[in-house]
């Protein structure tokens, strides 16, 4: 039906849609660090896969988040804005709608979301610096990435917070977000992450790479409010920090 609007008329648009996703909800605890009408940010524990795969069809962060949405009566599916490796702990952002995902993904692409990590690396480093070296796979089937000519530009800024002769605690800010970027860059300069068996070596002090997605800074989609959130450092990395201090 055609209708000519008059001054004072109000228009309401119902954007509610029923969405479904092939992810089984599982009653797994979720540590919510921040939530608004558009996004959910959780603190992922180490050793948890972010999204179901053939090798890990259940027990993932996405299974836990799907259950959280159902328990809190939210009509949302899991739209990951960022991902972390299985053994990396810390902040993961999930968008609650296609609109929110598009907006936050655009912010990521434009480097409008500041991403900070805590890492413990082998050996002594001091001061601060930037690693600006391209990264790519040496072959299509390779899991590992390498610093190589012709790769994609990758930029890692770092500041050393504490250091001993054996290891250093580093605060890292990513300017780009390539797969395994932090692990590849620090391995390349001779300071692989403690416990990183892919780019370094095993450690008897920690049974994973010592990497934690520590802080996010961004502005909200609707109000443009500045948000800064942090995720508590896990106990296994705290033990390494104690080791450095002693």
Catalytic residue among 6, 22, 85, 232: 85
In this structure, what is the dihedral angle of CA atoms 45, 48, 51, 54, given to the nearest 10 degrees?
A: 180
| φ/ψ bin of 8: left (φ > 0), alpha (ψ from -120 to 50), beta (otherwise) | left
- What is the DSSP annotation of 36-53? -SSEEEEEEPTT--SS--
Q: State the DSSP H helix or E strand holding residue 216, giving kind and residue range, or none if neither.
A: strand 211-219
Answer yes or no: are the C-beta atoms of 120 and 168 closer than 8 Å. yes
Rounded CA gap, 217 and 201, in Å? 32
CA distances 89 to 5, 21, 47, 92, 170, Å, are 53, 25, 8, 9, 15
Q: Give yes or no: 38 in active site.
A: no
Nearest CA to 61 out of 101, 92, 98 is that of: 92
* Cβ–Cβ under 8 Å, residues 115 and 218: no
User: From start to end of 137-176, where are the E strands?
Assistant: 146-147, 155-163, 167-174
Residues with a known catalytic role: 85
């Amino acid at each position: 039906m055609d209708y000519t609007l008059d001054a004072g008329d109000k228009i309401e648009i119902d954007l509610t849609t029923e969405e479904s996703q092939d992810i089984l909800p599982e009653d797994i605890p979720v540590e919510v660090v921040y939530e608004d009408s558009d996004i959910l940010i959780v603190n992922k524990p180490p050793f948890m896969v972010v999204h179901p795969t053939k090798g890990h069809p259940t027990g993932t962060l996405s299974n836990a988040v799907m259950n959280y949405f159902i328990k809190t009566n939210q009509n949302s599916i899991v739209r990951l804005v960022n991902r972390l490796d299985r053994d990396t702990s810390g902040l993961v952002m999930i968008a609650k709608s296609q609109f929110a995902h598009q907006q936050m993904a655009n912010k990521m692409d434009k480097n409008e979301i500041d991403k900070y990590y805590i890492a413990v690396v082998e050996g002594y480093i001091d001061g601060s610096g930037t690693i600006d070296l391209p990264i790519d796979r040496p072959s299509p089937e390779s899991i590992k990435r390498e610093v190589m000519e012709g790769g994609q530009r990758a930029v890692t800024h770092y500041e050393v917070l504490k250091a001993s002769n054996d290891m250093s605690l580093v605060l890292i800010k990513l300017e780009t977000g390539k797969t395994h970027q932090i692990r590849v860059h620090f391995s390349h300069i001779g300071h692989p992450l403690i416990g990183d068996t892919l780019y370094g070596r095993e450690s008897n002090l920690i049974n994973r790479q010592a990497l934690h997605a520590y802080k996010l800074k961004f502005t909200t989609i609707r109000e443009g409010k500045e948000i800064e959130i942090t995720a508590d450092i896990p106990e296994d990395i705290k033990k390494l920090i104690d080791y450095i201090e002693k």
